[in-house]
C-alpha cells in the first residue's frame, strides 16, 4: 500500500518538473517516478500510399492523419479504424511557398470567405468521421492568418477536437488562437522522415525520445507514401524497443490529451 509520504513525494515531483518545463505537467507513477510519452502522427493517409498496410500493422500506438479530400480518404479511414489506430484530419491549407497543386484543389485558402472556410472544415470532419482532431498539411499562409485560422478553430471547438500544429512556419498563430478558444493544442517537435535514409529517420526517432525525456512528452510527424512509408515503418521497428527501455511510452494524440487533462487550456 502506498503511504502518505510516497504520495507527497510524487506530488512534489510533479510540481518541480512542471516548473522546470514551463508549467508542462508530467504524469507520475505511484512510485513517484516521472513518465515520458511519445506521440507519433503519420501524415498522408488517404491515397493508399506505399507503406499504408505495413504502417497499420505496427504494434505501437500512433495517430493516422488522413487527407480528407483524397481519393481513398474513406477507405483508408476504415482501414485505420479496423487496425485500432487513432485518427485525425490532415487538412490541406494554403502555403506561402510551393505549388498550389501540392495543397490540392480543395483546402483552406486565404481567398475564401468565412462561410467557405467553415463549410470546407465541416466537410472534412464529415468525411473523416472518427477523427478526434486536426493538423495542417502545408498551410504556412493559413497558420499566419488570424482571420483564417480562427474560423477553422471555431469549428474544431464546436466539435471538441484537438489541434496539432505541424509547425510549417515560425510565425504560427495556432497556439494563440487555440488558447483563446479553449482548444487542446499540441505542436510538432520533430519531422521524422521525408528521406529514404533509414539511419537519419532512426536518428530523428531517438531525438524525439530525448525531447520526451526532457519535457515529459514529444510529438513527431512521419508519413506514408513517398515521404516515408516502408522505410519509416522499418525505422520505427528498429528503434521502438530502445525508447521503451528508457521508460518512454508510445501514445496516440487522443491518449496524450487524456493524460494531460482536457482543461480547455493549451498544453
50-106 residue pLDDT tens = 999 999 999 999 999 999 999 999 999 999 999 999 999 999 999 999 777 788 889
pLDDT at 31 over 60: no
Contact criterion met (CB below 8 Å) for 208 and 246: no
3-state SS, 41-101, equals EEEEECCCCCCHHHHHCCCCCCEEEECCCCCCHHHHHHHHHHCCCEEEEEEEECCCCCCHH
Q: Can you point out the beta strands (E) in 139-216?
A: 162-165, 185-187, 190-191
Helix (H, G, I), strand (E, B) or coil at 250: strand
Query: How far, in Å, CA of 105 to CA of 115, rounded?
Result: 18
Provide the pLDDT confidence category of residue 33 given band limits of 50, 70 and 90: low
* Per-residue pLDDT reduced to its tens digit, 210-221: 999 999 999 999
* Domains of the chain by start residue, with CATH: 1-34 (no CATH), 36-260 (3.20.20.370)
pLDDT at 7 over 70: no
- Crossing angle of helices 114-127 and 73-82, in 10° steps, is 50
Read off the pTM: 0.86
* Per-residue pLDDT reduced to its tens digit, 225-240: 999 999 999 999 999 9
* Per-residue pLDDT reduced to its tens digit, 115-133: 999 999 999 999 999 999 9
Dig out the grid coordinates for 193 from the structure: 522522415
Query: How far, in Å, CA of 259 to CA of 251, rounded?
Result: 10
User: What pLDDT was estimated at residue 235?
Assistant: 98
Contact criterion met (CB below 8 Å) for 47 and 71: yes
Q: Which of 50, 122, 127 is nearest to 87 (CA)?
A: 127
Kindly give, in sequence order, each residue whose CB lies less than 8 Å from that of residue 209, ignoring residues fewer than 6 positions away.
Answer: 36, 38, 218, 242, 243, 246, 248
Dig out the grid coordinates for 218 from the structure: 514529444
Q: Where does residue 160 fall: left (phi above 0), alpha (psi -120 to 50 degrees), or beta otherwise?
A: left
Q: Can you point out the beta strands (E) in 77-225?
A: 86-93, 133-138, 162-165, 185-187, 190-191, 217-223
User: What pLDDT was estimated at residue 262?
Assistant: 63
Neighbours of 16 (CB within 10 A): 12
* Per-residue pLDDT reduced to its tens digit, 238-265: 999 999 999 999 999 999 999 987 644 4
Q: Which of 88, 90, 111 is nearest to 100 (CA)?
A: 111
Helix (H, G, I), strand (E, B) or coil at 133: strand
- Taking CA atoms, 99 is separated from 58, 96, 105, 139, 229, in Å, by 33, 9, 11, 12, 23
The two most distant CA atoms of the chain are separated, in Å, by 62
Indicate the burial class of 41 (C-beta count within 10 angstroms; 0-12, 13-18, 19 or more): buried
* Per-residue pLDDT reduced to its tens digit, 9-25: 333 444 434 433 444 43
Amino acid at each position: 500500500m502506498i503511504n502518505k509520504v510516497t504520495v507527497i513525494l510524487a506530488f512534489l515531483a510533479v510540481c518541480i518538473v512542471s516548473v522546470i518545463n514551463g508549467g508542462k505537467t508530467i504524469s507520475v507513477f505511484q512510485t513517484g517516478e516521472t513518465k515520458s510519452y511519445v506521440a507519433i502522427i503519420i501524415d498522408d493517409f488517404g491515397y493508399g500510399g506505399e507503406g499504408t498496410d505495413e504502417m497499420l500493422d505496427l504494434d505501437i500506438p500512433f495517430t493516422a492523419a488522413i487527407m480528407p479530400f483524397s481519393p481513398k480518404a474513406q477507405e483508408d479511414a476504415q482501414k485505420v479504424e479496423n487496425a485500432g489506430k487513432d485518427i485525425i484530419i490532415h487538412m490541406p491549407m494554403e502555403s506561402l511557398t510551393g505549388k498550389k497543386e501540392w495543397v490540392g484543389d480543395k483546402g483552406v485558402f486565404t481567398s475564401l470567405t468565412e462561410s467557405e472556410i467553415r463549410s470546407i472544415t465541416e466537410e472534412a470532419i464529415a468525411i473523416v468521421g472518427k477523427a478526434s482532431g486536426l493538423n495542417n498539411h502545408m498551410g504556412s499562409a493559413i497558420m499566419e492568418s488570424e482571420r483564417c485560422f480562427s474560423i477553422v478553430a471555431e469549428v474544431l471547438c464546436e466539435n471538441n477536437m484537438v489541434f496539432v500544429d505541424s509547425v510549417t512556419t515560425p510565425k504560427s498563430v495556432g497556439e494563440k488562437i487555440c488558447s483563446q478558444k479553449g482548444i487542446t493544442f499540441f505542436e510538432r517537435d520533430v519531422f521524422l522522415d521525408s528521406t529514404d535514409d533509414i539511419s537519419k529517420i532512426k536518428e530523428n526517432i531517438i531525438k524525439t525520445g530525448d525531447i520526451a525525456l526532457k519535457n515529459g512528452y514529444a510529438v513527431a510527424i512521419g508519413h506514408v507514401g513517398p515521404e516515408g512509408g516502408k522505410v519509416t515503418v522499418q525505422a520505427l521497428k528498429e528503434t521502438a524497443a530502445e525508447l521503451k527501455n528508457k521508460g518512454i511510452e508510445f501514445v496516440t494524440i487522443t491518449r496524450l490529451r487524456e493524460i494531460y487533462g482536457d482543461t480547455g487550456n493549451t498544453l
